[in-house]
Amino acid sequence: MSAKEQTIGFIGLGAMGRGMAAQCARKGFSLVVNDINPQPVEYLVSLGAEAAASPAEVAQRCSIIITVLPTGREVDAVIMGADGLFDHAAPGTLVMDLSTIEPEMTDKLHEVAAARGFRAVDAPIGRLAWHAERGESLFMVGAEQADFDEVKPLLEAMGTTIHYCGTGGTGTRTKLVNNYLAIISCQLNAEALALSQRFGLDLATTLDVIHGTTATNGQLKVNWPNKVLAGDTDPGFTIDLAHKDLTLILGAANHARVPLPVAAAAREAFSGARSRGYGGQDFSAMADVLCDLAQIERARIEEV
């Protein structure tokens, strides 16, 4: 039976999950949704989904369940914990976790699923909340080939780019490598633009120079013109979440005995931003953090 013919559970309707679940609903998938916040559940119901009172009810009604949860702690509790999904799901149920969590927790998910007669896929999300709303997410998938083939139509409904990274756990590990570069880029960009502001340089000209050399990067060229440089620091991906991911990255690197001194320094910079109240802002707002700290005008440009 194809994914289109099955009832799909969706647990976790935050900034990313809400948009992706909406894409599935609009594209004809039968959805049962659950979240601790009633507002996104009501929104999904307006699109044709059915609400479930608990993860247990989702497990009882669905053969494929998607989870998008804040940390590994919630993944453990919701899926594998007492009264979690695995305590109520039918044998053979497939759980696809889209969360960004510790590799060790992803490994546990695959191991426990196999031991208890279930199937697991790790498919963390690339790109930002506005991509999710538009069905333009990117996914990095770790799974057995047959399980990947089964969930691929769902991933195609939610995104435009799907990378099969290998067996269980490879998706999560690929995500950490990707986020390492994305988050570090924000810190580097913030420092560079603060320096440009202190020098009194024309920002448009400075950006033209940067984008014409190998100094440029995707955050500065694609994301920042729509966010902090336009004065929009409403979160697509918060400074708090970036700090969380840097903590995951450093923990995983420590476990693998890979030194990451730049990641350690960047995490402390993000810690400083959080301590000053910027944690809920978009991670591009690190540019504002640096300019405010140096008491110079924030980097803004009307046309980039």
Q: Where in the sequence numbering do the catalytic residues fall?
A: 175
Radius of gyration of the chain (CA): 20
| Token representation of residue 262 | 């730049």
Q: Say how many Å lie between the first and final Cα of the chain, rounded.
A: 49
Single-letter amino acid code for the residue at 147: D
CA dihedral sign, ordered 244, 263, 300, 137: negative
Other Cβ atoms within 10 Å of 199 Cβ, number: 9
**CA 183 to chain CA centroid, nearest Å:** 12
Chain-centre distance for alpha carbon 254? 22
Q: Which residues of 253-267 are buried (b: 16+ CB within 10 A; e: fewer)?
A: beeeeeebeebeebb
Q: Phi-psi region for residue 48, left (φ > 0), alpha (ψ -120 to 50) or beta?
A: left
